[in-house]
Structure 1
């Protein structure tokens, strides 16, 4: 193929490269492992993702407001271990691959979440508003019972589940 034929073909087809970051985002493959998202409402607070993260990108810390979740995307290797082993599905990987940023925003490229501290509706103690692992509870909880369960500390949750269905 000579130069003029190649030149004419490229003029007809247009540029091959993506106009990143100025154009629309390029489509990502369906199974691409991109940045993670954290949904605090679904989290059980087991901290398994922090323990299993090979790069140490995930950190939980106790604060006055509750349990803070941080995932530093600059450290994350996007292996998917956290999402795979999360029992509640509160961590999932997206197909978002465009994590380019200016160096001044290096520490802003992170996923943050907070599992708030609650006051137990039964004993008045403090607990975390975590999702309860109720997959094996029989009969399954109604929406009202689940809402009541979330307003209790772990000790009162166990008591509530033991006494559920018993008449006073």
Structure 2
């Protein structure tokens, strides 16, 4: 007789299905969905490429710089790229709406380029990537991050050593 109680509750509460794609669909709080990439935070460490099991993330050297490519139609939303990114350049959103026509398949990608610049310290050609401020005490100010962005790795080390000696 317990099923009659459940039947009456279901009749009173109404349907429990979601009208997706014709209406909004509920998404759990910690749902892993589409990737969001912040170029300004990327250090070009390529850790995300190394841990991406399906190969959805690729870095390619181009004459302009280092190109980041992430294919949403290949991603399995495992979250390893976000977990191993030292600067939170990759975040997973709760957006899981990935339905698209076949003709838009190649548009389901993120394409960003970390451009080459001349180092402000030694004038060498280097990537304009974000510094990795993890463990730096005191933390970088926004002005220091912009200064570090235009330094080659050797000049960054020198600048950090000088900063440590001053503070």
Q: What range describes the TM-score normalised by the shorter chain of this pair? A: 0.7 to 0.9
2:46 corresponds to which residue? 47
What residue number does 1:151 align with? 150
TM-superposed CA distance for 1:114, in Å, is 1.9
Unaligned runs of 5+ in 1: 1-5
Gaps of 5+ in 2: 1-7
Equivalences for 1:47-66 in 2 at 5 Å?
47-66=46-65
Higher alpha-carbon deviation: 62-71 or 83-92: 62-71
Per the normalisation by structure 2, the TM-score is 0.83
Q: Helix, strand or coil for the counterpart of 1:68?
A: strand
Alignment of 1:91-106 (within 5 A): 91-106=90-105
**Superposition deviation, residue 14 in structure 1:** 7.4
CA–CA distance in structure 2, aligned partners of residues 77 and 152 of structure 1: 36
Aligned partner of 2:19 in structure 1 is: 18
TM-superposed deviation, 1:30: 0.8
Matches within 5 A, 1:132-147: 132-147=131-146
User: Is the contact made by 1:39 and 1:113 (CA closer than 8 Å) also made in structure 2?
Assistant: no
| DSSP 3-state at the match of 1:71 | strand
On the 8 A contact 2:130/2:148 being kept in 1, the answer is no
Secondary structure of the 2:135 match is coil
- The two structures, once aligned, show a CA RMSD in angstroms of 2.5
Structure 1 residues 15 and 27: CA distance shift in structure 2, 3 A: closer
Q: CA deviation at 1:111?
A: 1.9
Q: Which shifted more, 116-125 or 52-61?
A: 116-125
Aligned to 2:143, what secondary structure does the other structure show? helix
